[in-house]
Structure 1
């Protein structure tokens, strides 16, 4: 009887070990979908995929293109993607609206180079000499209440222009050239390499470099997940952060590798991507980094509640 109990105990122990091993293997092999729009802001994730950095850290990751940034929070909550790259503004408005999202790592931040790459690009036949010339114009933004849109509204306010006097519509980055060419909008809020591409095609010119005038250094895009997923997968989040930190070094120092990954994901010509440096990658994300955005969005009446920055970033 004792021998039978001992054998049973050994069998149960082995079974438990096998179950744990299988569970660990399943977790390691589970594919993580990261959703981002067609810009260089998620370059650290793109590089981490292409250079095998995620695999080195035991993660199986695939990048998923998202047309409009404001669609990312819903994609995260539906589990279509597990991690997304929302702009700071899209993230904050989603949280304010009741979605339990949390930032898990930094992606890109504003700096003089990236600010210079942001423009209001104006189609041929439209003349913009000063901010008030945007009054009455139809302006396309790659996501209403997303990064470029909120920054532009902030700029208009600082220049004494009522944002309500401008008509805003959503236009995805890949379709900007076509809609500018067709006259569907008077201007688009965009960034490199799309600015150079439309300029070279003779579709119009830069009407304003509004981000340069604002001269901020706050987060543009960061990686976010549902709080439930992040807390249940704490080990994966740690590995993800380590991989992103390693890839960020490459993004900021190796133009060749960064450009190749950006061109591959965004489907932009490599030469065009190489012509403009990617936005600065900053893998660290601190709660206080979101304070300015909350202030700006509150002033634009985009937030209904008082958000606590300490709850917005996973420890």
Structure 2
């Protein structure tokens, strides 16, 4: 694990070394999902500026690249999934969670799906055996949650061939037959359904019905320690933006569509995931247990150290 993160970190550092980011400006990296809606809204509605923070959003293709991007300082705050964050810390990266982003609830769980291409038959969990399934980050939220669902249904996750596929390329990858299914969520489910690419093979998020964090905002511990005032400003802006995300679907949808480059009409078909700025260490306990079951952790992560006080 440490070797994998070291390789990714080196690659990202080399790729980004040609142009340093403007001093004083904070880059916030997230993938093309609704889970970082509070940061998207804070940027669009001027809430970062209101709280004295010069910040902009940066689109990251694969969630599992976020920890390395944080350590290389190509972004200063990122939105890793709970599983990516925990695995990075377990692998030796000194990261700290600085604020909550999204949590699982009935709405977000219903939006999660294993989407199957036309020509492939999936009627029950065991039908995924031997199939090639694309995930937007191996070890990320949707991947780990799906493997948990397979285990609860009596299917060995090792019998499924998982590969990484970014959200924006899922439709094309399915159409080409490169993969048999993808692990995705709204608005991509509706967009691919409308395109006639395939069908929903499983609503595994709804089946599990959990309430733990999906994504939260994190930073390198060194950066957070030397930018305590910026962290306070960030938290204040996120707390204000979370209210908008949870109560004003129109504003939230517009910000999500702008950042993810999804058509607004498609984004409007599903509400953004519930935003919860507060983050407590015990909320990560379930994820740690799940990851231990899947043999993803080498240590016993310190829950109290994970979250920046």
Q: TM-score normalized by structure 2?
A: 0.92
Distance 2:220 2:197 in 1: 40
For residue 225 of structure 1, the aligned residue among 215, 219, 226 is 219
**Which residue matches 2:82?**
88
Structure 2 unaligned runs (5+)? 1-22
Match of 2:268 in 1: 274
Query: 2:138 matched to 1:127?
Result: no
| 1:65-85: CA deviation from partner (whole Å, max 9, x where unpaired) | 000000000000000000000
Q: Deviations over 1:84-118 (max 9, x none)?
A: 00000000000000000000000000001000000
Q: Is 1:239 paired with 2:233?
A: yes
Aligned with 1:30: secondary structure? coil
Aligned residue runs from structure 1 range 155-304, under 5 A: 155-304=149-298
Normalising by the residue count of structure 1, what TM-score does the alignment of the two structures yield? Answer: 0.90
Match of 2:59 among 62, 65, 74: 65
Deviation string 1:259-303 (CA, Å, 9 cap, x unpaired) is 010000000000100111001000001111111000000111100
Q: Secondary structure at the match of 1:128?
A: coil
State how many pairs are aligned. Answer: 287
Unaligned runs of 5+ in 1: 1-28
Please give the root-mean-square deviation of Cα atoms over the aligned residues, in Å.
0.6
Residue deviations 1:134-183, cap 9 Å, x none? 00100000000100000000000000001111000000000000000111
Q: Deviations over 1:226-250 (max 9, x none)?
A: 0111111111111111110000000
Paired with 1:267 and 1:196, the residues of 2 have a C-alpha distance of 15
Tell me, in whole angstroms, the C-alpha distance in 1 between the residues paired with 2:264 and 2:54.
26
1:99 aligns with 2:90: no
Please show how residues 69-80 of structure 1 align to structure 2 within 5 Å: 69-80=63-74
